[in-house]
Structure 1
Amino acid sequence: MRIAPLSFGLMLALSTPVLADPVIFAAASLKTALDEIATDFTAESGVKPLISYDGSGALAKQILADAPADMFISAATDWMDQVEKAEYILPGTREDFLGNTLVLISDKADPVEIADLPEKLGSEHIAMGLLDSVPAGQYGKAALTHLGLWDKIEPQVAQAQNVRAALALVASGEAPYGIVYKTDAAAEPKVHVVATFPEGSYPAITYPIALLKAGPDAEGAKAFYDYLTTPKATALLEQQGFEILKK
């Protein structure tokens, strides 16, 4: 007789005690995919991750100020480096999790040559994440600098709290263009990808993940950490446009 494989939720229920709801700090660009994954995880395990989304820099600063979080998923390695250097990471749990691509978006579908962006902007603004703390903003500045466009565009940059806030400025028509990740553009039907920044014009976009030492629910966080690499979760992330780095 063939025995059906156990589901993730059943395996979790059989192998662990009742878990509390873990607190997850995650880059804002993960919201669409991670909310859906968390819903599936809760349905299977009964554990509900409490996810706080923001720019990676803002989240890292909260962790360094002893915010009670169990896991951190950053959209850039440098913010995770700072958290690790301060010894907030549970040893052996940091891994490169996801990759992404930087794109130019508009509320109109007309393709744009990135070299023509200053002319296209005219006197209007381009939405970007905060340049000093939001990875998407930092990657965008790096790309524009590499392409020789930053000095022309800098005065017209409208800085947003995080990449999803920059996305919202374009979706609402408040800014005609914005720089976000490919996955953000896929999550918002009111915007269009009008150009993709060339590979090599900005540092490789890497999302590191790690469990944190001082979190209130290490076991629940570890269960969710493991769930993120299940076939169901990785398939959803790939559907959203992420590259899977942690198998």
Structure 2
Amino acid sequence: MKQFRMVIVLLLAVFLLSSCGSTEDAQNNNKANETASLTISAAISLTDALEEMKPIFEKEHNVELTFNLGGSGKLAQQIQQGAPVDVFISANQDWMDTLEKEELIQTDTRKDITGNKIVLISSKDAHLSMNLLEEIDQLDSVKQIAVGNPETVPAGKYTEQILTHLEKWDGLQNQIILAKDVRQVLTYVETGNAEIGFVYESDAKTSDQIDILLTADTKMHDPIIYPAAVTTDTEHENVAKDFLEFLESDQAQDILQSYGFQK
């Protein structure tokens, strides 16, 4: 009788162990099949290119990408305030440098992924023409000039450098209206709220309502470079690094170039 009880106890123990193992295996399998979520804070000028990349990367890596788009300065400030971000892509080096100094990005992941140009645009309906940027203060029909806020919008800072180089910045202050990001500049010009504006070439190519009047000489401003990096607080470090590698791939670079970016 005693032996029979021992056999029952042993069989029960084996059953419980195997059940626990099955449950653990099931939990591990469920975790493996879960779709990771990656939050990308990126300069708003990258909107169209990133949206085209999104389904490609998601399918290849079983991950869901969420984009937080805006002016680089505002995005950097959000990270400083603790916003849950996995990857930051800035439209200039300064904001990335700021986060690096504050140890809010993983320095060894930082990569320069693409570049851009600054162009002067007008609405097609305006029928404006200019031969030189130096003539910008000589157009009687121009009452408003849309510019990204230089404090938080890299395109605005580049524009300030251009107009300062031409000794026009101070003289145009009564005509300049500041926008929260480069896409708002584009909207101001499209809707006629500003006769002209300064945007990236990539933004200009997204609209069939505007004309590119002139392209700024790159010698007039700092190099336009888009750095990207994984944040220090990411909970998805490996897949975040995979995304940065994807941005450097030929496939991603072809997409960026198709939208007017250039490395």
Provide structure 2 residue ranges, at least 5 long, that are not aligned to the other structure. Answer: 1-31
- Spell out the pairing of 1:154-165 with structure 2 (5 A cutoff): 154-165=173-184
- Spell out the pairing of 1:1-40 with structure 2 (5 A cutoff): 18-40=34-56
Q: CA 1:234/1:148 → structure 2, altered by over 3 Å: closer, same or farther? A: same
Task: Using structure 1 for the length normalisation, give the TM-score.
Answer: 0.88
Identity %: 37
SS at structure 1 position matched to 2:37 = coil
Distance across 2 between alignment mates of 1:197 and 1:121: 21
CA shift at 1:19, angstroms? Answer: 4.7
Equivalent of 1:192, from 193, 211, 225?
211
SS at structure 2 position matched to 1:208 = strand
Structure 1 position 111 matched with structure 2 position 111: no
In structure 2, the residue matched to 1:3 is none
Distance across 2 between alignment mates of 1:94 and 1:72: 10
SS at structure 2 position matched to 1:67 = coil
Letter in 1 for 2:255: L
Letter in 1 for 2:183: R
Q: CA 1:115/1:68 → structure 2, altered by over 3 Å: closer, same or farther? A: same
CA shift at 1:207, angstroms? Answer: 0.8
Distance across 1 between alignment mates of 2:240 and 2:43: 16
CA shift at 1:123, angstroms? Answer: 5.7
Provide structure 1 residue ranges, at least 5 long, that are not aligned to the other structure. Answer: 1-15
In structure 2, the residue matched to 1:216 is 235
SS at structure 1 position matched to 2:129 = coil
Whether the 8 Å CA contact 1:121–1:176 is kept in 2: the answer is: no
Q: CA 1:34/1:194 → structure 2, altered by over 3 Å: closer, same or farther? A: same
SS at structure 1 position matched to 2:167 = coil
Equivalent of 2:104, from 79, 83, 88?
88
Distance across 2 between alignment mates of 1:17 and 1:90: 27
Cα deviations by residue, 1:102-122 (Å, 9 ceiling, x for unpaired): 100000354312111112255
SS at structure 1 position matched to 2:112 = strand
Greater C-alpha radius of gyration: 2
In structure 1, the residue matched to 2:172 is 153
CA shift at 1:90, angstroms? Answer: 1.4
In structure 1, the residue matched to 2:192 is 173
Distance across 2 between alignment mates of 1:62 and 1:176: 32
Cα deviations by residue, 1:196-226 (Å, 9 ceiling, x for unpaired): 1112111111111100110232233222222
CA shift at 1:187, angstroms? Answer: 1.0
CA shift at 1:23, angstroms? Answer: 0.5
Task: Using structure 2 for the length normalisation, give the TM-score.
Answer: 0.82
Structure 1 position 65 matched with structure 2 position 81: yes
Cα deviations by residue, 1:71-119 (Å, 9 ceiling, x for unpaired): 0000011100110000011131012221111100000354312111112
Letter in 1 for 2:73: G
Distance across 2 between alignment mates of 1:196 and 1:83: 31
The structure 1 segments of at least 4 consecutive aligned residues displaced by more than 3 Å after TM superposition are: 16-19, 43-46
Distance across 2 between alignment mates of 1:101 and 1:235: 17
SS at structure 2 position matched to 1:21 = strand
Structure 1 position 183 matched with structure 2 position 202: yes
Distance across 1 between alignment mates of 2:123 and 2:103: 43
Whether the 8 Å CA contact 1:19–1:220 is kept in 2: the answer is: no
Equivalent of 2:257, from 235, 238, 241?
238
Q: How many residues align?
A: 229
